[in-house]
Each structure stands twice: as C-alpha cells, then as structure tokens.
A and B are shown apart, each in its own frame.
Chain A
C-alpha cells in the first residue's frame, strides 16, 4: 500500500484568493489522480498526471506532478465558492488504490 500525505488538512479562504494544496509520498508513482468531492456526493475525477514534471491546467486549476513522481500539487487561482469541496489524490496504477485523507477547502463569498 502506498501512503499519501495531503496538506493542509483544512483550508478556509476568501473568494478571489489563490491557494495550493499538496500530495506527497515516499513512493514513486507511475501516475496520480486528483479528485474533488462535493458535500453529499461521491468523488469526481479532475485530472490524471503521468509524466514527471508534467503540468496540466483545468480552467483556474493547475496540477503539477513532481519531477521524481513522488509528489503533486494543485493550485487554484482566484478561488470561487464553487471550488468548495474535499480534494483527494490517489495513485492510479494499481488495484489497491490508496487515497490521501484529502484537503477540505472552503471558499467564503
């Protein structure tokens, strides 16, 4: 089982602010996924990063995979209340998927 650490655990910011959340491990991943889970719903896949150093953008969200493929970050520019949710990371290359505990983001109007 690959252990993932996500930080911060909780983040509360005002609308319009920028933020970065992190996903770290001592293991090397062949690929890693980011999910967002809104209250009362199941997680929804946002992105999969595969190549070390890869950067993917999804509107105001920027995902980066570390060069060594042991860590990843998610940066949100000009956060909006609709970004509120639990952000989870998980390696996507084995059967026993192990999710990080997530970062609970609250964006206040």
Chain B
C-alpha cells in the first residue's frame, strides 16, 4: 500500500519563487493536513481539510494556500517563498475524526535561499 505520498522529497527555491508541494493518499481518508517541522518547534499545523471542497487554517497558515478538489489530493502552495519557510513539511491523513490513526508521509525538505 502506498499510504501517503509526498513529492518532491527535496526542493531548493530562491526567495520569491512559487511552488506546490504535492500530497496524495490512497486510503480514501476524509481528513488531511499539512504540518511544518522546525528544530525546537515540533510539528505545527499549517492547514487542514475535513473533506473535498473544505479547508481551514491551522496554527501557522500565513504564506501558504491549500485546496482540496478531490479526496485523494491535498496540495500545499507557496506563492512567494521566503527564507522563513525553510522547513520540513509533512502531510498526514486519517479516515475520520473518530478514527484516531493518523498516517504521515515521508516529508518534503524545503530550503529557501
């Protein structure tokens, strides 16, 4: 089973560039989320979605956009990358709120120069 797949695994951007981090899950999970992980800060929630067409902000949403056009995909967009967005990004999914098992992707390591 593929589970949660994130692409790319590594990315280097210049300040001001835009890019989309891809996340796909093949488990038909309704709930998906994006986190960033920085040293000493733990995992912080950026955006989440409780189903196709529904998204909401997490703890640190500024500088990021999301959309959920299908159940399977939940892309994260950086419209104008900044050095402060250098981080490791994780996508996660779970079946529904009552199902407590959250599955994480392997992460995307992003550097913004």
Known: A33-B102, A42-B104, A98-B59. 19 other contacts (CB 8 A): A40-B107, A41-B106, A42-B4, A42-B90, A42-B105, A43-B90, A43-B104, A48-B101, A88-B42, A92-B100, A95-B31, A95-B48, A95-B56, A95-B97, A96-B58, A97-B45, A99-B42, A100-B42, A101-B40
Known: A95-B48, A95-B50, A95-B56. A42 touches B106 (CB 8 A): yes
Listed A/B pairs (14) with beta-carbon separation below 8 Å? A42-B90, A42-B92, A42-B106, A45-B101, A45-B103, A48-B100, A48-B101, A95-B50, A95-B56, A96-B48, A97-B33, A97-B45, A98-B59, A99-B43
Q: For the complex, count residues of A whose C-beta is within 8 A of B.
A: 24
Which residues on B are within 8 Å of A, measured CB to CB?
4, 31, 33, 35, 40-45, 48, 50, 56, 58-59, 90, 92, 97, 100-107
